[in-house]
Structure 1
Amino acid sequence: MPTNVGVVHSIMLVAHVAEYLSFALSVVINGLLIYLIKTKSRKEMGSYKYLMMSFALFGIFYSTIDVLVQPLIHVYASTFSAIMILSTFGFNKNSAAVIISCFNMALTLLAVHFVYRYFAVCWPLRLRYFKGFRTFPCWAFVVMVLGLAWGLTTYFVANESPDKDEFLAEEFLKNYDLRIEEIYYVGSFYFTYDEDGYRRYKLSACLGMLNYTFLMSVSSSIVFYCGVKTYLNMRKEQDNKTKKMRNLQAQLFKVLVLQTVTPVVLMYIPCGFVFAAPLFEMEVGAYANFVPIFLALYPVIDPLYVIYFIRDHRESVKKWFNFFSKIPTSRPTYESRMTLIEKFSLQEASQGAHFSSIKNFIHCEKTLEGNLGESKMRRLPRSAEMAHGAEYVGFCLGVVINSTLIFLIKTKSRKELGVYRYLMMSFAFCGIGYSTVDLITQPLIQTHGTTFTVLTVLSTFDISKRVGALVVALYCAFFEVTLALLGVHFVYRYFAICRPNLLRLFEGFNKAIWVAVVLGFGLDWFLTTYFLVPETEMANRYLANAIMENYGLRMDEIAYIGPLYFITDSSGEKHFNLISCLGMANFLFMVFFSFGTVFFCGISTYRKMQQQLSIVTQRTRILQKQLFLTLIVQTIVPIFFMYIPIFFLFLSPLFELEIGANANFVSISLALYPVLDPLVAIYFISDYREAVKNFFKKCLPKKHSSGLVSTGLVLNAISSTS
């Protein structure tokens, strides 16, 4: 992948700023956390507070290593490299190797923390392995040995070598303006090609990567196993605790879950991507420097969970801010429920005051004189107000931008696009349909106990309960239609690049087959939603209080769908709800099937395109790059705005995370998706981008022409690198 030097330097600057800023914030925030644990922790926390202190000390240790190394990550052909500039702190290559080996010591220390937590909750008797000065050297020895294993692999297997120097010297000079002697780097050179074009794997590099992978797998497996077992054990014993202790345990549960998820997302997954990318010859280049940014953020984000979710710590911080800012600790608010006569005059109330507003209030019933005390005013939570606002904005922008894209595809597309332009148009039409259904449904989302619900308020469009359930099911079906259509896009690109003879499957009446496949996925999701996770009497009893508390709505005023993962029998024992679990299993299968298709076709297409770049014409090569870059970004957008929020929503009830109405962030992200998706195609395909740019040129006054010329030059420079 050709890299823009300006963009590369910007990424490097962001990475280095993130490292310095994270070091400063990590020392401050983790230092604050240590103080709070020392002075504000309850006695009930016992030895657990020392574990949290060790987490804080670990964060300072990790950020110190990160700011010393200031790594640059580069992926090129069949190699990846972690680079350290020697002149930054005056290190030589031997000292740099020692510091880089500390990375695995940090991961091992993280695993030891989870082992301690596991013993403290599940096997208290085994805490003797962490007590006294005799046990400390043993754990320190474990950390040092695993760090040494990483360091020896780095020094003897992944170290610099003449063949790697020769292969990478020009790449480093071109991207970073650095000579080999100015840096220390480690990394793997997986394979080369012989004269016949066959791969020849380098045994030492592959063994080194196996060792890296093994060490990371041991650490991540310990973190995951101990984290899950600790969480389940804490949930099991919660019923035997006092109310005060249960509240404290609930706070610690949330901290535990987030402290397990955070290193997975910010450390293990980015590192796993860097390790795997060269095997597929993904020319990520200097853009891989997003990984150091993630690694730098970890020690800052981790202590914030403890400060925020543990009430005593949070209240202490709030008091400090209130003291320094002189802001009162409370502000006047309306009661969440009040009679009309309390809010309006007697005359207005007796005449039947009635209003409905998406901004402040969700519903206000008419009332007659003599019955003024029965009608209530219900205030929406702020998250729901934001969700409704996003839905209206998403609908308006979605219709305008997708319509613009359809016009551009119809009038500005090259002949080389062929059938693919119809696929892009289908995406745009799907975006309009999705945002329309989203506006009609105006879904509100909440989690409570072992369930999540997607609900719509019947009075919004004055519909019946049955129609409301159908609308919610249709909304969910459009989600799967979008994912299925994304998969079909990747299949088409795979056929066009890797199997041209199969493109006949997208011609003539065969198009109807693909339409049927997409609609079949949507129908499956619709039927599963409507019949396997519907509204039930048991769910109504379970949710009634939570819906009233969060939204001020009775169950007969809403329609909803959602699984109830567990049911409680007469003896108080919890059992899996088979029907709901089957429905959710089907949902997950459909999502993974779509994502698996995207991943396989995307990787195969990318590798084939790399081989064909020297064969096709310059014009075709530029168009193929634009289309593939568009497709890649159109994959990343739904991952962050659809896959991840939905997976979080699916999984949170399994851990009984009481998110409540705050789960409406999912509605917001889903509402924004049909706005962002067409912008990708308009920006990355140069013909469309130029058409939009020329349109705005004509609309602006001529006196701004000089500015437009310079802007045009910038955009042309960008498009030449696309």
Structure 2
Amino acid sequence: MTVPAYLHIVQYCAFGIAIIANSLLLHLIRMRAGLSFGRYRVLMISFSIYAIVYANIEIFTLPVMYMQGAGMIFYVDSVLKNHQDIGLLIAVSYCGCLAFCISMLATHFIFRYIAVCRQHHIHIFNGYKVYLLLIPPFFLFLIWAGAMFVCYRPNEVKRDFYRKVIADLYEEDIDQVAFIAPLYYTHQTDGSVLYRISDLLGCLLSCGILGACFTTCSICAYKTYNKLHDSAIQMSKRTRTLSKQLFWTLGLQTLLPFITQYIPVGLVFLLPLFEIQVGKTMAVPVYLHIVQYCAFVIAIISNCLLLHLIRMRAGASFGRYRILMISFSIYAIVYANIEIFTLPVMYIQGSGMIFYVDSFLKYHQDAGLLIAIVYCGCLALCISMLSTHFIFRYIAVCRLAWKMEVYSTEFLT
């Protein structure tokens, strides 16, 4: 079995979304982020540029990972996979981007902390000095990428260790593909364990960088949050509102990669220490369910937050449209739970397609069949709810006379 085609389709789709979203964000920052944002605009622009660069690096990498024993192999599956020198360079650059991203987020939190809690020091970011905040991310990028190159680069021991599994599962010749691979220890024929110090040091360094950056983010976020909600602090209403918006935006911007990138990366480094195998087998790939569980957590958190914001911020100006907004968020939460009870797996063969339940309900045929058809029915509910949103907006904008009659408070209550 080779790498599933849908995996690369997802990667290409994510690339397209990342390029469009970050290009749009750069345009909005340029057109809408005025003087009230101050020098923070530089960090916002820098992060969007990084995201575009990272998307291109990922598409030149198309990473494939597999855990075996006390190690993990990461190989390049793009057009560069048979160019070992360039492929190795793009692989370590891809890994280095993880350190660059989390350290960039840490600098954002440091900036917000100083802007809110140490306002008398905000002058240190005036002029070109704000660009000095980009030095730590570049420095950590070089450290992480260098550690990957020195500690995890290919050698004969690693090639022999992964040769059979890569040939059997991915139909690749490990002597031809570019890869990096931590291998923490191996079991000798006499039963002893041979520890590989360089690989263990690489793991320690990587986890140390992640831990230090997340600790910085957490401390700055905690102090900034308390300061923004301290009514005794003298701050104009407009400044306080803008600072809260930037704080929550930064929080969501950090939460998403934390769930989708850094928890999986941390597990990738730590699980092989205990010889816990996660990867591709003849069954459903484990990472597919990991993605589903991560999507479930993101959906619950984001929609609960959206419900809170609708309740607190969507005032009378939104009118009865608030009911549709609330309804859709509740639907999204219910759908996320139905999906996690389904864990759908689909396969197309010939002129047919099979859809089966892969959750704990898969051996309960009656309950499993019910949850499967409810899951499918949710697709109709979603598109029809979106249609009602468009109908409401059409009447609200184009048929104002109808709006007063059809969507009056008395009608809906």
**With structure 1 as the length reference, what TM-score do the two structures score?**
0.40
Tell me by how many angstroms 1:387 deviates.
2.8
Tell me by how many angstroms 1:660 deviates.
2.7
Counterpart pick for 2:56 among 436, 457, 476: 436
Instruction: Please identify the structure whose Cα radius of gyration is greater.
Output: 1
- Show the counterpart of 1:445: 65
- The yes-or-no answer on 1:706 pairing with 2:395 is yes
- Show the counterpart of 1:483: 102
- The yes-or-no answer on 1:628 pairing with 2:247 is yes
Residue 518 and residue 505 in structure 1: after superposition, are their counterparts in 2 closer, same or farther (change >3 A)?
A: farther
Q: State how far apart, in whole Å, the 1-side matches of 2:168 and 2:272 are.
A: 18
Residue 543 and residue 705 in structure 1: after superposition, are their counterparts in 2 closer, same or farther (change >3 A)?
A: same
Q: State how far apart, in whole Å, the 2-side matches of 1:438 and 1:663 are.
A: 21
Q: State how far apart, in whole Å, the 2-side matches of 1:543 and 1:438 are.
A: 23
Contact 2:159 2:175 in 1 (8 A): no
- The yes-or-no answer on 1:539 pairing with 2:158 is yes
Q: State how far apart, in whole Å, the 2-side matches of 1:391 and 1:554 are.
A: 23
Q: State how far apart, in whole Å, the 2-side matches of 1:571 and 1:709 are.
A: 81
Matches for 1:366-405 after TM superposition, within 5 Å:
379-380=2-3, 382=4, 385-405=5-25
Residue 665 and residue 474 in structure 1: after superposition, are their counterparts in 2 closer, same or farther (change >3 A)?
A: farther
Q: State how far apart, in whole Å, the 2-side matches of 1:573 and 1:706 are.
A: 76
Contact 1:434 1:479 in 2 (8 A): no
Counterpart pick for 1:493 among 86, 97, 112: 112
Residue 473 and residue 616 in structure 1: after superposition, are their counterparts in 2 closer, same or farther (change >3 A)?
A: same
Matches for 1:335-374 after TM superposition, within 5 Å:
336=1
- Show the counterpart of 1:616: 235
Matches for 1:178-257 after TM superposition, within 5 Å:
none
- The yes-or-no answer on 1:519 pairing with 2:138 is yes
Q: Deviations over 1:566-622 (max 9, x none)?
A: 033453311321110011100011111100110111111111111257632222222
Q: Deviations over 1:544-568 (max 9, x none)?
A: 0111111010112311112101033
Q: State how far apart, in whole Å, the 1-side matches of 2:120 and 2:44 are.
A: 21
Q: State how far apart, in whole Å, the 2-side matches of 1:438 and 1:595 are.
A: 23
Unaligned residue ranges in structure 2 (runs of 5+): 314-389, 404-413
- Show the counterpart of 1:590: 209
**With structure 2 as the length reference, what TM-score do the two structures score?**
0.68
Tell me by how many angstroms 1:650 deviates.
1.2
- Show the counterpart of 1:455: 75
Contact 1:391 1:439 in 2 (8 A): yes
Contact 1:525 1:587 in 2 (8 A): yes
**Runs of 4+ residues deviating >4 angstroms:** 663-669, 701-704, 707-710
Q: State how far apart, in whole Å, the 2-side matches of 1:422 and 1:591 are.
A: 24
Q: State how far apart, in whole Å, the 1-side matches of 2:199 and 2:286 are.
A: 20
Q: State how far apart, in whole Å, the 2-side matches of 1:406 and 1:604 are.
A: 29
Contact 2:81 2:178 in 1 (8 A): no
Q: Which amino acid aligns with 2:74?
A: V
Contact 1:446 1:453 in 2 (8 A): yes
Residue 462 and residue 636 in structure 1: after superposition, are their counterparts in 2 closer, same or farther (change >3 A)?
A: closer
Residue 614 and residue 516 in structure 1: after superposition, are their counterparts in 2 closer, same or farther (change >3 A)?
A: closer
Q: Deviations over 1:239-259 (max 9, x none)?
A: xxxxxxxxxxxxxxxxxxxxx
CA RMSD of aligned residues (A): 3.2
- Equivalent residue of 2:154, what SS? coil
- Show the counterpart of 1:269: none
Residue 452 and residue 667 in structure 1: after superposition, are their counterparts in 2 closer, same or farther (change >3 A)?
A: farther
Identity of aligned residues (%): 25
Contact 1:443 1:456 in 2 (8 A): yes
Q: Which amino acid aligns with 2:247?
A: F
- Equivalent residue of 1:616, what SS? coil
Residue 665 and residue 499 in structure 1: after superposition, are their counterparts in 2 closer, same or farther (change >3 A)?
A: farther
Q: Deviations over 1:310-348 (max 9, x none)?
A: xxxxxxxxxxxxxxxxxxxxxxxxxx4xxxxxxxxxxxx
Q: State how far apart, in whole Å, the 2-side matches of 1:552 and 1:506 are.
A: 53
Q: State how far apart, in whole Å, the 1-side matches of 2:269 and 2:244 are.
A: 36
Q: Which amino acid aligns with 1:391?
A: Q
- The yes-or-no answer on 1:420 pairing with 2:45 is no
- The yes-or-no answer on 1:604 pairing with 2:223 is yes
- Show the counterpart of 1:59: none
Q: Which amino acid aligns with 1:390?
A: V
Q: Deviations over 1:470-527 (max 9, x none)?
A: 1100000111111010000000001101112322332233234222211001000110
Q: State how far apart, in whole Å, the 2-side matches of 1:582 and 1:708 are.
A: 62
- Equivalent residue of 2:175, what SS? helix
Tell me by how many angstroms 1:703 deviates.
11
Q: State how far apart, in whole Å, the 2-side matches of 1:393 and 1:468 are.
A: 22
The range that moved more, 466-475 or 642-651, is 642-651
Residue 551 and residue 462 in structure 1: after superposition, are their counterparts in 2 closer, same or farther (change >3 A)?
A: closer
Q: Deviations over 1:176-206 (max 9, x none)?
A: xxxxxxxxxxxxxxxxxxxxxxxxxxxxxxx
Tell me by how many angstroms 1:705 deviates.
3.8
- Show the counterpart of 1:637: 256
Residue 630 and residue 703 in structure 1: after superposition, are their counterparts in 2 closer, same or farther (change >3 A)?
A: closer
- The yes-or-no answer on 1:566 pairing with 2:185 is yes
- Equivalent residue of 2:234, what SS? coil
- Equivalent residue of 1:558, what SS? coil
Matches for 1:114-125 after TM superposition, within 5 Å:
none
Q: Which amino acid aligns with 2:129?
A: N
Equivalent residue pairs, number: 308
Residue 548 and residue 668 in structure 1: after superposition, are their counterparts in 2 closer, same or farther (change >3 A)?
A: farther
Matches for 1:48-197 after TM superposition, within 5 Å:
none
Q: Which amino acid aligns with 1:624?
A: S
- Equivalent residue of 1:657, what SS? coil
Contact 1:387 1:668 in 2 (8 A): no
Residue 665 and residue 593 in structure 1: after superposition, are their counterparts in 2 closer, same or farther (change >3 A)?
A: farther
Contact 1:446 1:664 in 2 (8 A): no
Matches for 1:249-268 after TM superposition, within 5 Å:
none
Tell me by how many angstroms 1:454 deviates.
1.4
- Equivalent residue of 2:54, what SS? helix
Tell me by how many angstroms 1:663 deviates.
6.1
Q: Which amino acid aligns with 2:278?
A: I
Counterpart pick for 1:411 among 21, 28, 31: 31
Residue 392 and residue 443 in structure 1: after superposition, are their counterparts in 2 closer, same or farther (change >3 A)?
A: same
Residue 612 and residue 631 in structure 1: after superposition, are their counterparts in 2 closer, same or farther (change >3 A)?
A: farther
- Show the counterpart of 2:341: none
Q: State how far apart, in whole Å, the 1-side matches of 2:247 and 2:177 are.
A: 43
Q: Deviations over 1:391-450 (max 9, x none)?
A: 101110100010001100110113211111221111111111111111110000110111
- Equivalent residue of 1:615, what SS? coil
Q: Which amino acid aligns with 1:706?
A: I
Contact 1:535 1:562 in 2 (8 A): yes
Residue 524 and residue 500 in structure 1: after superposition, are their counterparts in 2 closer, same or farther (change >3 A)?
A: same
Matches for 1:290-329 after TM superposition, within 5 Å:
none
